[in-house]
Each structure stands twice: as C-alpha cells, then as structure tokens.
C-alpha cells in the first residue's frame, strides 16, 4: 500500500447518486470523500450523455420528490440551456416532457456538480479505481483503490456504494442481483439545420441531442442492413443482450454500439442525405451505457406493480417517468444488504429493485433522492453508533421531513 487515509463517510461513484450522498454526508458534518473512476462527475447523466432530468412530479401538478433531487435539477440548467415547463402544475395526465423536468447540457451540469461539492467541502478523488474491499467483523471497513499515487486504502466508518455496478458491494462479497441490458447508444450529433421536435427539448440548433441505438424490439434508427453489416439480426441482437457483464463484455458492448453508429453515418453519406461536414458525431459517451448492471440483494427488493404501495419504512416518493399518476414509496430496506453486512449503504442504480420497478428507480431523480437518504443514513449511523440496518426508521424519516421530504403518499395528497 502506497497510502492509507481515513474518513467518516466514503462514497464510491461520482454519478448523481454519489454526488447527492456526498453532499448530504458533508452537510451533516462528516468528513466525506467521493471516489470517481473517471475525470467527470455525473455518471450516465453527463459522461453517458443521458441528458434528461426526468420528472419529479406526478403529471397531475403534484411535486412528489424534493430535497437534493430538486436542487440538482435546478443546478443542471444553471450554466447552460434547458427549461422547466412553465405550466407543469396545471397539467393533467401530462406527457413526460410537460412535467417538472428538464433537459440539460451534460458539460454544464458537470461544472455545477463540481461547484456544489466544492462548496460543501467534499474531498473529491477523480481518476481513482476501486479494486477491492476490506471486511472486518461483518462490516466493510476499507476500499482498496488505485490512481496515479499507486495502490492505497481508503478507510471509513460508513460507505455508500453509488457506483452503478455495486463494485464495492461485490468486492465485499455482498450478494447482488443483475438484469438484462439492451444494446443502445446515446450521443450528441451535429446535423445542419436540425431543430428539436419539441421546444421543451431544445438545447440549440444544429445539435441532435440523442441517438437511439439498436433496440432489440425494432424501434431503432439502426436498420436491418446496418445490423447485417455488423454481423447481427434482430433476433441475434436480443439473444446477446448483456447480463452480469465481464470486463470483456463491457468492451464488446461499447465497440459494438459504436460500430452501429459508424455504419449509420456511412449509410447517410452513401444515400446523399448528408455529408461528413453537415452531419457527424459530436460527442460520444465515455462510460458504458448499461442501465442495469448490478443492484444489492437488499433487505427488501422493490417489485413490479408496487407503485401506490404503502411501506412503513418509506424514505421518499418517486414519480414514474413512464406513466403519469404513478408514484412509488421507496422502502429504506432497499438501501442496505439483506445478508447483514454493515458499514455499507446503496444508492442510485445499486438500490434493490427488480425488472419494471428497476426501470423506474434507475433514473436521475431516484439517484439523487436515494443518494441523499444514503448520505444521511450513513451520518446517523455514525452519530448513533449503529449499522445502517439497525437505524430507527422513525428517526431517519423525521430527519428527512426536516429536509423537506414527502415520505408517504398522503403527504402530497395521494390516496
């Protein structure tokens, strides 16, 4: 080991969930470090070019998610384009783009995330890769990391795994769940004369802000001809959906989706619709766009059709971006491991959910909300001398209410 450092709270992963966790832990008075393997904060939202901050309202004029989730939504458009629909409170059964949400410039959002962490006094370690975990007496006690200084140990009293892939939890031997991932690619594209189809999604003329890759269900800009050139059919593509990816699988996924994109441009140019000066890739993602890699096997795993379900240990509300009027209570038990391992909480895509429920909880508002809860729970666990699974939920809920959270559906006038 080349170094050994100690913190109160260590957050692994600098995506939106990790940022929210680190912010709350630091604001709770804890010496906090945020560890990110790339040079950029924001994860899939920024490095992955998933530029839509999905709704924090239910589509019927009710805001349901508050706290850092709302704070970061506003921060995402502080230094760049993007607008919150002005009439979202008056909408009924509103489409996603008419709700309390926005699109944002990924680079502008990164700058805002840098700022909020700096103001909170979070120690940010970029270009730092988690290699291993140390577990003593059933508790995670350290993350082994590597960066330009060599290999070292980050010890902490509590950890938050917000990596999106449960990297620390898996290295610690905590059981995790996986899901299938379709081949897809979002990019920023320059296209001369292009304008957003809807004003709500406009980031600027001549920029197409997303490109959907080879969705196995056929709803794709990728034609059968392009798939064939890359050695695929629709059926074979679906059969190769990525699950529990190995290191090689990640490389193959990225290279395959980029090959789809290249063949797409070749086809456009050959047809004479555009040339290399009037339409081209402007920015490619620098993280793999796998949405559902691993989540922890939590004390509770949120399931399909559990929207509108009351949980005594709910720690907040999430609007379903796919369906107006659908709101979920999120149980605290989804944030800590079922096997009793202490010293670790999950946030964002690492929280326990399955299938359709995971589709609703893997997005930016959920990442920010569960990140804030995990950061607060980590701080409370230290203050009370307990492990996350031993925290009195009523104490956590009271602290969240003081931070402006709605906890149960009746808090916002539902059911």
pLDDT value at residue 359:
85
The answer, yes or no, to whether residue 322 has pLDDT greater than 60, is yes
Query: pLDDT averaged over the chain?
Result: 92
pLDDT value at residue 238:
72
How many Cα neighbours within 13 Å face the side chain of 114? 11
In this prediction, residue 193 has a pLDDT band, given cuts at 50, 70 and 90, of confident
- Lowest average pLDDT, out of 26-35, 44-53, 219-228, 330-339, goes to 219-228
pLDDT value at residue 70:
98
Residue 295, class by beta-carbon neighbours within 10 Å (0-12 exposed, 13-18 middle, 19+ buried)?
buried
pLDDT value at residue 213:
54
In this prediction, residue 402 has a pLDDT band, given cuts at 50, 70 and 90, of very high
pLDDT value at residue 203:
67
Terminal Cα-to-Cα distance of the chain (whole angstroms) = 55
pLDDT value at residue 200:
55
Cβ distance 291 to 319 under 8 Å? no
pLDDT value at residue 208:
64
In this prediction, residue 198 has a pLDDT band, given cuts at 50, 70 and 90, of low
Q: How many CB atoms lie within 10 A of CB 280?
A: 15
For residues 330-353, average pLDDT: 97
The larger pLDDT score, comparing residue 175 to residue 212, is at: 175
Quote the CA–CA distance of 45 and 186 in Å, as a whole number. 11
pTM of the model: 0.95
In this prediction, residue 171 has a pLDDT band, given cuts at 50, 70 and 90, of very high
pLDDT value at residue 16:
98
pLDDT value at residue 260:
87
Cβ distance 65 to 318 under 8 Å? yes
Specify which residues 165 forms β-bridges with. none
In this prediction, residue 135 has a pLDDT band, given cuts at 50, 70 and 90, of very high
pLDDT value at residue 215:
46
pLDDT in tens, 88-117: 999 999 999 999 999 999 999 999 999 999
Cβ distance 161 to 298 under 8 Å? no
pLDDT value at residue 163:
97
| Residue 329 φ/ψ, nearest 5 degrees | -90, 135
pLDDT value at residue 240:
76
The answer, yes or no, to whether residue 373 has pLDDT greater than 80, is yes
pLDDT in tens, 201-225: 666 677 665 555 544 444 566 778 8
pLDDT value at residue 216:
41
């Amino acid at each position: 080991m080349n170094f050994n450092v100690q913190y109160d709270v260590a957050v692994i992963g600098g995506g939106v969930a990790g940022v929210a966790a680190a912010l709350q832990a630091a604001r709770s008075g804890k010496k906090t470090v945020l560890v990110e393997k790339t040079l950029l904060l924001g994860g899939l939202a920024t490095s992955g070019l998933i530029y839509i901050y999905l709704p924090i309202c239910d589509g019927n004029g009710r805001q349901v998610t508050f706290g850092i989730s709302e704070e970061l939504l506003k921060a995402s458009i502080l230094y760049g384009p993007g607008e919150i629909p002005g009439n979202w409170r008056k909408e009924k059964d509103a489409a996603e783009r008419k709700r309390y949400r926005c699109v944002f410039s990924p680079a502008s959002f990164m700058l805002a995330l840098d700022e909020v962490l700096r103001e909170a006094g979070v120690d940010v370690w970029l270009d730092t890769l988690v290699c291993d975990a140390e577990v003593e007496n059933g508790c995670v006690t350290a993350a082994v990391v590597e960066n330009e200084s060599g290999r070292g140990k980050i010890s902490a009293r509590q950890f938050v795994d917000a990596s999106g892939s449960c990297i620390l939890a898996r290295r610690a031997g905590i059981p995790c769940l996986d899901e299938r991932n379709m081949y897809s690619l979002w990019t920023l594209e320059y296209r001369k004369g292009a304008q957003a189809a809807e004003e709500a999604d406009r980031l600027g003329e001549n920029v197409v802000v997303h490109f959907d890759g080879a969705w196995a269900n056929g709803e794709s800009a990728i034609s059968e001809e392009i798939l064939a050139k890359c050695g695929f059919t629709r059926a074979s593509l679906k059969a190769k959906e990525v699950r529990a990816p190995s290191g090689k699988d990640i490389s193959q996924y990225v290279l395959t989706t980029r090959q789809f994109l290249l063949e797409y441009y070749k086809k456009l140019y050959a047809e004479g619709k555009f040339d290399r000066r009037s339409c081209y890739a402007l920015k490619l993602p620098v993280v793999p766009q796998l949405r559902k890699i691993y989540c922890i096997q939590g004390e509770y795993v949120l399931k399909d059709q559990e929207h509108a379900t009351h949980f005594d240990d709910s720690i907040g509300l999430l609007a379903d971006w796919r369906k107006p009027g659908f709101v979920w209570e999120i149980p605290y038990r989804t944030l800590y491991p079922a096997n009793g391992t202490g010293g670790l909480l999950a946030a964002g895509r690492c929280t326990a959910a399955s299938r359709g429920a995971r589709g609703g909880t893997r997005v930016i508002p959920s990442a920010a909300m569960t990140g804030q809860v995990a950061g607060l729970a980590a701080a409370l666990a230290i203050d009370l001398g307990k492990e996350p699974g031993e925290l009195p939920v009523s104490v956590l809920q009271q602290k969240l209410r003081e931070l402006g959270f709605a906890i149960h559906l009746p808090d916002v006038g539902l059911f």
